Amino acid sequence: MHQHHRALGLAVAPLGTRSGADIARLRPAQPVTLLRPHAARRAARFFVEKFPGRSLYAVKANPSPDLLQILWDAGVTHYDVASIGEVRLVSTTLPEATLCFMHPVKAEEAIAEAYFDHGVRTFSLDTLEELEKIVGATSTDGVAATDLNLLVRIRVSSDHAKLSLASKFGAQPDEVKALLFAARQAADGLGICFHVGSQAMTPAAYSEAMSRVRDAIIEAAVTVDIVDVGGGFPSAYPGMEPPALENYFSVIHAAFEALPISYSAELWCEPGRALCAEYASLIVRVEKRRGDELYINDGAYGALFDAAHIGWRYPVQLLREPESNTRPAEFSFYGPTCDDLDHMAGPFELPADVRAGDYIEVGMLGAYGCAMRTGFNGFGVVNSEIVDDEPMASLYAEVEAPARSNVVKL
């Protein structure tokens, strides 16, 4: 069993590893994605070994087939898919994996293909209309399926999360009783699921949501077989240093044990960001400097979508030889397209003498960064390299290391 630490451990790579500095030394003209399979493997083992239930990887966070294989090899056997495209991808990549179709609003054709062609038996829903759709699409010659796991998604607060997921999906309190009762009649296994929002910064998000689950079970007076606490498990970013994930697991387990459910009921979770954020980072080149604005060759239509559109701050470091000894300063970034919206306000702290031709590593982009990339304006060509140094921040590092400079000597 690994030892894991809560601190935002900025790890120093041991001698002999291949790092971003080695890639920058080659002076690449295009952005380069750095992949760290060991980091994804470590995160997966953490959830497999420590979460007190079953972990489903939320594929939307990063659908890379290579990553899916890494997680499978590390013990993740169940996958949260949200579209027929994701169903097909995981079914092809991991034929033995168990797929759970957890989008609450699905096309009838997608449900049928998932059930009959890909063996999907678990579906989420938040309305009676969706329940009818699932039952109809999985029926054979008018006979309803008898092997469905149906998870009713209830609406819970996102107040403790950095990104809300409280407005689009989830049955309202006055709808839950009827929905649970109806789903119970159609389900082999009945579940309740929720999502506390992305990047939940306190375990209280889950304890409060589980109180809603308890109320729903008592009011509907149904037997619940599965409780799925969804995603929201955080990663570490500048200004966002969460408590240890073990604290989240402990709170969730205690709340689960207190629910009025049978001894055989299962506890599930759907980590996305927490499993893949540390998997990738990005090397970009500074093409121009204008005051405290740096023009770089990736941006809002590439891996830095969240940095542009929701102001997400990622860790950065300057890759330069010789090392800069100047004081740090705060910068914003412009991406390579002709669009003014291709702007990342930051602030991103780098040595004050950063200049055109320098290379910057942007960390923690394994979650959503790779998944959001487009080819807008003819940009988007990115090479990938596997490295074995530590990610710029980690919730899973085996040994806490002292903070390092934001300049890496090549």
Helix (H) or strand (E) holding 344: strand 343-351
CB-CB contact of 126 with 170 (8 Å)? yes
Percent of the chain as helix, strand, coil, to the nearest 5 = 30, 25, 45
For residue 338, indicate whether it is catalytic.
yes
Q: Which residue in 100, 193, 338, 370 is the catalytic one?
A: 338
Q: For residue 197, report the phi and psi dihedrals to the nearest 5 degrees.
A: 105, 165
Structural tokens at position 130? 């969706």
The torsion of the CA quartet 349, 354, 360, 365, rounded to 10 degrees, works out to 30
CB-CB contact of 278 with 356 (8 Å)? no
Structural tokens at position 258? 């207190």
- The span from the CA of 400 to the CA of 89, in Å, is 37
* Cα Rg of the chain, angstroms: 22
Structural tokens at position 96? 């033995």
Structural tokens at position 10? 């900025």
CB-CB contact of 34 with 281 (8 Å)? yes
Q: Which of 197, 175, 194, 174 is nearest to 102 (CA)?
A: 194
Q: Which of 114, 74, 113 is nearest to 98 (CA)?
A: 114
- The span from the CA of 102 to the CA of 184, in Å, is 17
Q: Kindly list the catalytic residues.
A: 338
